Amino acid sequence: MRDYFVEQGPAQTQAPVCPIVRSLAGQTALVTGANSGIGRAIAVALGKAGANVVVNYVTREDAARETLEEVQQCGARALAIAADVSNEQQVRDMFQRTVDELGALDILVNNAGLQQDAPFHEMTTAQWDKVMNVNLRGQFLCTREAVRIFMRQGIRKNVSSSAGKVICISSVHDVIPWAGHVNYAASKGGVMLMMKSVAQEVAPLGIRVNSICPGAVRTPINTEAWSTREAYNSLMKLIPYKRIGEPEELGRVAVWLASDDSDYITGASLYVDGGMTLYPGFETGG
């Protein structure tokens, strides 16, 4: 059991200078589905914050290379690894290669996810299984490998106060029901309670597990919701803050959640959604 008891809190000291801190210097992060959208922005942001980054992808190797180059421009070491997150052996091999080539693992960002939408009565088992396999089973398999590594490593005191951080990319749809997207909402609801249950289990080991839950963000997964004036106006009815999110904003949140600045946060769902979860209909109604 970790024991941080002290009779008095630490003395508050005034820093004499304002150094530029790369909050993740010396750490290694693995980001799944890092070749596009939110995953790509997070991989680049982690690299800018000083972390070495594994760029996982399953298709579109060219896009993964682009992410890789962007991360490397930040001065970080980076590695692109192809692996299907729903395939147990491929996941194990990816984590093994990460440790072999980069020496450690400190941060996992479970970002890989997809939608296969259909009216519920027409949804096929293939559509159900695909979404569950990537969005939920994939997060389980990757989190399990990461936790195993974090347990072996323990706390690397020179780089972080915790023994490891898992960030699950969930969605506002882990609490907002979504007609026409039942498989997706069910997978994200699953991610939410997986995240919280794992967080509870591994907190005594010094491992932090949290979710970032994006609302509408400008990425390829939802192009039809923002790419025309009509669609954008209709989307704004669901967003009290009246703008779509940009992938880079998720990158900044992920850096903070992976850093020691958020060291006392575990088991939390952080909604980054311009207020989409605030029952927007009640802005005027009720």
171 binding ligand BGC? (CB under 6 A): yes
The candidate with the shortest Cα–Cα distance to 195, out of 210, 174, 213, 212, is: 210
Selected catalytic residue, list 4, 184, 241, 271: 184
Stretch that binds ligand BGC, among 17-25, 51-59, 134-142, 215-223 (CB under 6 A): 215-223
50 lies in the binding site for ligand BGC (CB under 6 A): no
**In this chain, which stretch among 39-47, 67-75, 103-111, 214-222 interacts with ligand BGC, using CB under 6 A?**
214-222
Q: Which is nearer to ligand BGC, 45 or 239 (CB)?
A: 239
**Per CB under 6 A, 206 contacts ligand BGC:** no
Active-site residue 184, yes or no?
A: yes
- Residue 127 CB, shortest distance to ligand BGC, in Å, is 15
Point out which residues pair with 55 in neighbouring strands.
31, 80
Among the listed residues 129, 90, 108, the one whose alpha carbon sits nearest the alpha carbon of residue 43: 108
127 binds ligand BGC (CB under 6 A): no
Q: In this complex, which beta carbon is closest to ligand BGC, that of residue 226 or of residue 256? A: 226
By CB under 6 A, tell whether 216 contacts ligand BGC.
yes
Binding mask 85-114 for ligand BGC (x = CB under 6 A): ------------------------------
Contact 207, 163 (CB under 8 A): yes
Catalytic residues: 184
Give the interface with ligand BGC as residue ranges (CB under 6 A): 115, 171-173, 214-216, 221-222, 225
